[in-house]
Structure 1
């Protein structure tokens, strides 16, 4: 009986430990507010994704270089070096025009967490449904 009680107690402790560990993690779809410097960056696309830069498609994306790196995002590719330091911003066409003045400045971005799923996603974590506002430098 004592052995069974110890197993039960240990099982409950493990359950709560795992729940607590993931409770601090972001997951896809979570609404977040992140701050950092927003930059427009060049990436290479098809057909060779940077292997033949002369002929590969040139892609310009807005990337938020975070003030504080992400620590934990469930199912994100965290094996990529510096995975949590930058996030690609999914921006509507109008914001490309009206928010261009915020490039190379500190901004706060509200958005929903999205995980990279295609070759066009340049960071393991992206933000969609974004809104921007300037912030003071840190």
Structure 2
């Protein structure tokens, strides 16, 4: 009689385990899918966060003062380095002026110092890896709502978050 109860107990336990697997597998699977989707788009929540970016360095011209393109005869033009990102970048943070900066960007302005400016010129139209910090636009020459202040620019594409 013991062996019959033991087998019945094993059968019940197996049914319970099978039932739990059916119940929880979709939850675990959907959680894994959600995490994979979330990792497809990096969300930056802190202004000044240092991130590894990959993309193509572009050189774009923009109109400046006094009319910012409304009076081309007297308006100046300036060059801005842009990074066409390999993958979109989602950003949401509060800037120094207590305003929320949010959006999804496929291109951001790169604001290199003099040394990195020469390096960006050498890598124009090449795929690059940039380590830098994101900041919200704050001056008239900021051409995108979010700007990238690079610490390092290389032609290698290893180690990119974006």
Whether the TM-score (by the shorter chain) exceeds 0.5 is yes
1:76 to 72, 76, 101: 101
1:93 to 102, 108, 114: 114
Unpaired runs of 5+ residues, structure 1, are 1-23
Unpaired runs of 5+ residues, structure 2, are 1-42, 94-99, 158-162
**3-state DSSP of counterpart to 1:121:** coil
Superposed displacement of residue 68, structure 1: 0.6
Q: Distance in 2 between matches of 1:41 and 1:99?
A: 13
Q: Distance in 1 between matches of 2:109 and 2:146?
A: 7
TM-score (norm 2): 0.61
Specify the alignment match of 1:59 in structure 2.
78
Please identify runs of 4+ aligned residues in structure 1 that moved more than 6 A. Answer: none
Q: Deviations over 1:69-100 (max 9, x none)?
A: 1123322253xxxx511111111112222442
Specify the alignment match of 2:131 in structure 1.
110
Q: Does 1:48 align with 2:67?
A: yes
Specify the alignment match of 2:58 in structure 1.
39
**3-state DSSP of counterpart to 2:151:** strand
1:27 to 32, 46, 49: 46
**3-state DSSP of counterpart to 1:95:** helix
Question: Which structure has the larger Rg?
Answer: 2
Specify the alignment match of 2:35 in structure 1.
none
TM-score (norm 1): 0.71
Specify the alignment match of 1:16 in structure 2.
none
Larger helix proportion of the pair: 2
**3-state DSSP of counterpart to 2:62:** strand
What RMSD over aligned residues (CA atoms) do the two structures have, in Å? 1.7
Larger strand proportion of the pair: 2
Superposed displacement of residue 125, structure 1: 0.8
